[in-house]
Structure formats: structure tokens, C-alpha cells
Amino acid sequence: MSISWPDEIFAELHAARIRQVAYVPDAGHSQLIRRCHADSSMHTVSLTTEEEGVAMLAGAWLGGDRGVLLLQSSGVGNCINMLALNQECRIPLLALVTMRGEWGEFNPWQAPMGQATEPALTAMGVRVYRADTPEAIAETVRAAAMFAFSSYRAVAVLIGQRVIGAKRFEK
């Protein structure tokens, strides 16, 4: 039986009372992004770069809203300095990262940031959870949201490229 893990994430975001969604367009999150945009209880914002989302969601939490950042591993590098906000102010962050540059990657330019994603997050004080099977994703997102908003910490869930499938370049 195949499960729709993006739909399961969407249900978890609802259960976690997520009100603001910030994202940079991403193939792995495309279905989830469509569902967030279609949901009037969530304010969903497209960004020019991922660090904008780190700042926006810090503001959201200051104002009483919970949020989630949807991004690809390459975008983690764009966030590094902005993550000082979360660490210094102990502001929660829930980030769901689809991985590139690992399982069966075709594009060698994705490899450096793919390899650096976890150490870069860890270096900035972000807790890193991984989900490498579709079945593991929902419970991992649930645990990450609980940890982030109850313990006032930044948490990233890395969704393995093996789950999403390597990007195909042939037409």
C-alpha cells in the first residue's frame, strides 16, 4: 500500500495548529504547498530566499502564531545567519527539508549542500530529525512539531531523497 506522505504532513500541520506557511518552491513539497495554499486557516507565503522564512516565522511566533518552513536542502545554506534569531531568542522553528544531493542524484552541483545540510543545521543549534521512508514521515513531523513548540527549539526534519525519488532530467 502506498501512502500519500504529503497529505499526512498536511494533517500533522493542522493537528499542530500551524497558521503560517513559508516556502521556496520545491518539487518534493509541491503537493503539500498546493494544499496549504488552498486552506484558508493557513497563511501561505512564497519567499525569494529561505532565510526570509526563518525571519517571518520568528515574527509569527512572537505574534502568537505557529508556522512551518518548507524548503529544499540547498536552501538550508541560505538560512544560516538568520538562525541566530531562533537560537539566541529561543524561538521555535519547524522546518521540513526535502533532501537533494544524496540518493541517486544526477546533478553534481547539488552534492555539496546536500552533504553539508545536517552539519550546517547542527552548527546553528537546530535539532535534526530524519525520515527515510514514507511511513516514518508523519510521526517524525509530529514529534518535531511537539519538540519545537513545546520546548522552544528549532527543529528540522530531513526527508530523504530516497523517499522523493531522484530528480529525472530526461524529458
Using CB under 8 A as the criterion, which residues of the chain lie in contact with other proteins when the complex forms? 19-20, 43, 45-49, 51-65, 67, 81-82, 84-85, 88-91
Task: For the CB of residue 106, give the shortest distance to other proteins in the complex, in Å.
Answer: 28
User: Of 45 and 136, which has the nearer Cβ to other proteins?
Assistant: 45
Q: Which is nearer to other proteins, 55 or 136 (CB)?
A: 55
155 strand-pairing partners: 94, 127
- If the CB atoms of residues 88 and 170 are measured against other proteins, the closer one turns out to be 88
Asked if 61 and 67 count as a contact pair (C-beta separation under 8 A), the reply is: yes
DSSP 102-165: STT---GGGHHHHHHHHHHHHHTT-EEEEE-SHHHHHHHHHHHHHHHHHHT-EEEEEE-HHHH-
Please report how close the Cβ of residue 78 comes to other proteins at its closest, in angstroms: 10
Q: How far is the CB of 125 from other proteins (least distance, A)?
A: 12
Q: Outline where 16-83 has alpha helix (H).
A: 30-38, 50-62, 73-76
Residue 81 CB, nearest distance to other proteins (Å)?
7
* CB nearer to other proteins: pick between 50 and 102: 50
Rounded least distance, CB 161 to other proteins, Å: 27
> For residue 68, what are the β-bridge partners?
21
**For other proteins, which is the closer residue by CB, 19 or 162?**
19
CA atoms within a 13 Å half-sphere pointing along the CA-CB vector of 48: 0
